[in-house]
Structure formats: C-alpha cells, structure tokens
Amino acid sequence: MSKVVWKPGTFIYPLPAVMVSCGSMEKSNIITVAWTGILNTNPAIVYISVRPTRYSYNLIKEQGEFVINLTNEKLVRATDWCRSKKWG
C-alpha cells in the first residue's frame, strides 16, 4: 500500500474524548463521545455520533441541542467515569 497524504483540516482537539451534556433541567445527562468533529466553520456546525440505544440519544432528539465539553488532563478520570457508567 502506498503512503496516503492528508491535507490539514479543522478538528476539535483533544481527540477522541469529549463529554457531551444534554437534556433539560428536569431530565439531563452527560455522555462521553469519541465520534465528534467540525462540519463547517461559517456558520459553525459540529457533529457527534450517538447510538439510538444510548439514554442521551432521545434527550438530544427531544431538545434538539447539546453541548460539547472539551476535556483536558485534569478531567481524564471524570471522562472515563462518564464513559463507563451505565444508567437505567
């Protein structure tokens, strides 16, 4: 296989771990998402990929919005905890 050269692009860093908060004040959740990125810069459009079987999926679908929380070294344990915690 020959070498593939990729052009520079826009990414949300650090990858892959982001914590996505979603829902309402009455019914909320935070989920760790590995599939995220930028679709467009003007207007700003981002994406995440959440399986329909996840609790957060319907929260996002109902509210029509979510927040991508970028993580850092200090949040490694919290990010991992959100990834591994099973609700419901």
Total domains in the fold of the chain: 1
Domain encompassing residue 46: 8-19+32-88
- Residue 14's pLDDT is 47
Higher pLDDT, 50 or 84: 50
Domain contains 48: yes
Domain contains 27: no
Distant-in-sequence, close-in-space partners of 32: CB < 8 Å, separation ≥ 6 = 17, 18, 19, 20, 79, 80, 82, 83
pLDDT band at 52 (very low <50, low <70, confident <90, very high): very high
Average pLDDT over residues 47-71: 92
Average pLDDT over residues 50-74: 91
Tens-place pLDDT, residues 11-39: 555 456 788 999 999 999 988 888 888 88
Please give the mean pLDDT across all residues of the chain.
Answer: 82
Domain of residue 48, CATH code: 2.30.110.10
Domain contains 68: yes
